Chains A and B, each alone.
Chain A
Amino acid sequence: MGSLRDVLSPFTAWKHVIETPVTIRNPIGREAADGYRGFHQNDIEKCIGCGSCEVICQNAAIDMVPVSDPVDGDSGLRPKIDYGRCCWCALCVDVCMTGSLTMSNEYTWVDTDPDAFRFIPGVDPKPWDDLEKGYRREGGRVLTGAERVEMGELAPEARIDNFDEIVAGYTREQAMIEADRCVECGLCVATCPAHMDIPDYIAAIREGDYDLGLQILYETNPFSEVCGRVCTHKCETACAARHEGDPIAIRWLKRHIVDNVSEDRRLEIVGTPQTLPTRRKVAIVGAGPAGLTAAYDLARQGHAVTVYEAQDKPGGMMRFGIPEYRLPYAALDRDIAVIAAQGVKIETGVRIGHEITMDRLRAENDAVVLSIGLHIGRSTRIPGTEGGGVETAIDLLRRITAGEEVPVPKQVLVIGGGNVAMDIARSMARLQKVKHGAVGVTVTALEDFAHFLADREEIEESLEEGVEIIDARGPQEVVRFKSGNRKGEVKGLRSWAVTSIFDDKGRFAPQYDQGDERLHPAEMVVEAIGQAADVSILGEDLTEALDWNRGRLAVDVAGRTSEPWLWAAGDAVHGPDVITAVADGHRVAASVGAMLMAMGEVAR
């Protein structure tokens, strides 16, 4: 029973019967306010399917559904909204990483089918798709910071006369702020050649759990300390945060984890192989990132792995190519120490084909992996390159690392526009500064600045260090003195302006404006136009027996050559890149491991 008031109060409403109603007879068709939060609109070209809208939705109203094939930086998924659950709060619009998701001011829609109220904005056409009015987030992205935490670096004048590491690394506070910008969408994982669990290790930083972070790094990459410094960080080109701000500094965050775990602790966390020895033997030729990653994986599977390295220290291009100011040798040594701790034998100073032949490796092992890298510098073969005063970048970089004396004239000219060209230019600049007190390096590249091959940071830092970079120049001749007491010595490089590099079929066929000729004075010319693999170690018979693909060893997706006992990985197969080599190392190790396992089954 209700109270007397409950019974009577409906009648009190009668006193309003002659007043003008405040309600509207037909609300359908009445336009909402300009900034009203109505049905969603999604710019489908702008949307990258990161799913942040789904994660933030407090009513679980959003599903991510496939509408196209995924590509780098775009999952191909798009939000499908259930308006039976949506409360129109617009958090999804506020968090949207690209600004693609907005709301129209249309709010009225009648339909008897409840499932009609589940649709994909921007994909399923709706009358309000093109409405201008509605809720738009003001300004840029604000719920996640748009600006990257700046990295501390040595100033140009403090770094130009030494090989000290330039990048300082983040402090814990800086790393926390940077990690906080990540929405953990995971679009980056597909783009990373090694498919590192990037959102997970960033989350570990946010939790302050560096042990966990390190463990996650080691699941996909035994060269995380190296990659935390020199990775080509393709992941950052797929980062959702880049659309309305800076991408997350994924590379620096990776480094930050390793920086915060001591060497001893690192060995404790990674541990040693937890399996019985299989008595299977694997030989790996070349102790670079691909070979050592494969060695790490195979050793942890219980196989006996020996890595043969021609140089007197392991590391390959990480040691002998990348200059110390980008990657200190101690950092590389720490990564390698963990790999060696797995029982991997690393025989340095052993050049296959000389001390030991491929035939012998084949006879003494169950499998052989070739990871020999690209250590022969290519030459332009323009007139004048024969003779003294002309070097290849890769050879000079190796000699600098090995502590050998290299010529350091006052004026050096580098041919090439990639990262190796920048590496040798900046290394020579440092040596010049020490020896002569001044930098005199000129880099000429075929590409114009808009199409430069080197990383932007490398170009900027080179310029800061006083390196001169001249774009769109094609080398024609190393000019030498024809007479006098310097007869035969290098005088400089003659170049023409480049008008185009590729022909209309996309083939390399540079065209020049011969009227625009310059002589760049230099006492030494360094060629940095690419590297080749030294395949002479294979010997004639094996070279003959193997399948080749345009001068490179032909391999299947697992890295297996046409010889069933031989795999190939790394730069020599897939071109120069540390993280690609690491991924390759994992791939061949999985394939070799499967083969060894099958052998074990048969033997049983």
Chain B
Amino acid sequence: MMRDLHDHLKTRYRLGDLAERRGNLAFVDVERADLRALLVELRDVHGFTHLSLLTAVDWIEEGRFQLTYLMNNRAANRTLGLRVFLDRADPVGDTIHDLWPTAATYQRELREMFGIAFPGSPRVDEEFILEGWTDMPPYRRDFDTLAYSQQTFSDREGRETHDPRSHMAKKLYPEGQR
């Protein structure tokens, strides 16, 4: 069924190959320019009325972000994921809050956690869960969580750790330590 839908849509939209995960779950790559029209058609014509979620993946090696729009057809119990790619150096997405009001919340979260802009989305630049955050958006893969944690929080006094290898050298063959 998903394949029929894919065949039907790809005559009018620039779609990638259908990646089927299960019988009722599949993903497809979409051009950013086609996204809005495709979402509207999926919602109004094909019964994908529910936006299950909107999230992002940081493909740092490829220099791009992936937005994933998970669309659900409740009646047919089917989910289709649309994947749109943005330039990581200048990540700007298109707001769809007018299609699904909940999208505004997702977009606000993505703005905060990945630094992806959604111009025109309500309250998109307001803090979401990170209060007073000044660092790089923390879901970006080049964000060093450990370094941030060490800089931000102090250790309790008396903490001491041991490297297994040098600890064993010290205990088992102190004369052989170099």
Chain A residues packing against B (C-beta within 8 Å)? 49-51, 54, 57-60, 62-66, 69-70, 75-77, 82, 84-85, 114-115, 118, 185-187, 189-190, 195, 199, 219, 557
Contacts of B149 in A (CB 8 A): 58-60, 85
Q: In the complex, what residues of B have CB within 8 A of residue A195's CB?
A: 169, 173, 176
**CB <8 Å contact, A66 and B167:** yes
Measured CA separation A477–B167 after assembly (Å): 53
**CB-based contact B160/A187 at 8 Å:** no
| Shortest Cβ-Cβ A-B pairs, 4 listed | A186-B165, A75-B164, A63-B161, A58-B145
Q: Across the two chains, which residue of chain B brings its CB closest to A63?
A: B161
Residues of A within 8 A of B176 (CB): 195
- Give Cα A195–Cα B172 distance, bound, in whole angstroms: 11
State the CA gap A187–B171 with chains docked (Å).
13
Select the residue from B150, B161, B164, B165 with max chain A CB neighbours within 10 A.
Answer: B164
Asked if residues A49 and B146 are in contact (CB atoms below 8 Å), the reply is no
How distant is A80 from chain B, measured CB to nearest CB, in Å? Answer: 8
B159 at the A interface (CB under 8 A): yes
Decide yes or no whether B155 CB sits under 8 A from chain A: yes
* B146 and A190 within 8 A (CB): no
B162 within 8 A of A: yes
In the complex, the chain B residue whose C-beta lies closest to that of A583 is B176
Known contacts A58-B145, A64-B163, A190-B173; 14 further A-B pairs (Cβ under 8 A)? A58-B146, A59-B145, A59-B146, A59-B149, A60-B155, A65-B162, A66-B162, A75-B164, A84-B153, A185-B164, A186-B165, A190-B165, A190-B169, A199-B165
- Would A186 and B172 be within 8 Å (CB), given that A59-B149, A60-B155, A114-B156 are in contact? no
Kindly state the separation between the CA atoms of A69 and B167 in the bound complex, as whole angstroms. 10
Q: How many A-B residue pairs have CB under 8 A?
A: 84
Distance between Cα atoms of A19 and B149 in the complex (Å) = 41
CA distance A207 to B164 in the complex (A): 23
Q: Give every chain B residue within 8 A of A199 (Cβ-Cβ).
A: 165
Do most interface residues of chain B lie in helix, strand or loop, or is the interface mixed? helix
Alpha-carbon separation in the docked complex, A62 to B159 (Å): 9
Query: A234 vs B145: C-alpha distance in the bound complex, in angstroms?
Result: 37
Q: Quick check: B162 and A77 within 8 Å, CB to CB?
A: yes
Whole-angstrom distance between the Cβ of A587 and the nearest chain B Cβ: 8
A199–B164 CA distance with the chains assembled, in angstroms: 12
B172 and A60 form a contact (CB under 8 A): no
Known: A59-B149, A60-B155. A65 touches B161 (CB 8 A): yes
Residues of chain B within 8 A (CB-CB) of A118 are: 156, 159
Decide if A60 touches B163 in the complex (CB within 8 Å): no
Give chain B interface residues in 129-178, CB to chain A under 8 Å.
145-146, 149-150, 153, 155-156, 158-169, 171-173, 175-176, 178
Chain B residues positioned under 8 Å from A114 (CB to CB):
156
Inter-chain contact B164/A60, CB cutoff 8 Å: no
CA distance A64 to B164 in the complex (A): 8
Given A60-B146, A70-B168, A85-B149: A186 in contact with B159 (beta carbons within 8 A): no
CB-based contact A75/B167 at 8 Å: yes
Residues in chain A near residue B163, CB distance under 8 A: 51, 64, 186
- Complex Cα spacing A75 to B163, Å: 9
10 examples of A-B residue contacts, CB within 8 angstroms: A49-B164, A54-B161, A58-B149, A59-B145, A60-B155, A75-B168, A76-B167, A190-B169, A219-B178, A557-B175
Q: Is the CB of B164 within 8 A of A51?
A: yes
Contacting residues, chain A, for B160 (C-beta < 8 A): 63, 65
Q: Which residue of A lies closest to B161 (CB)?
A: A63
Closest residue of chain B to A115 (Cβ to Cβ) is B156
Residue of B155, B167, B168, B171 with most chain A CB atoms under a 10 A cut-off: B168
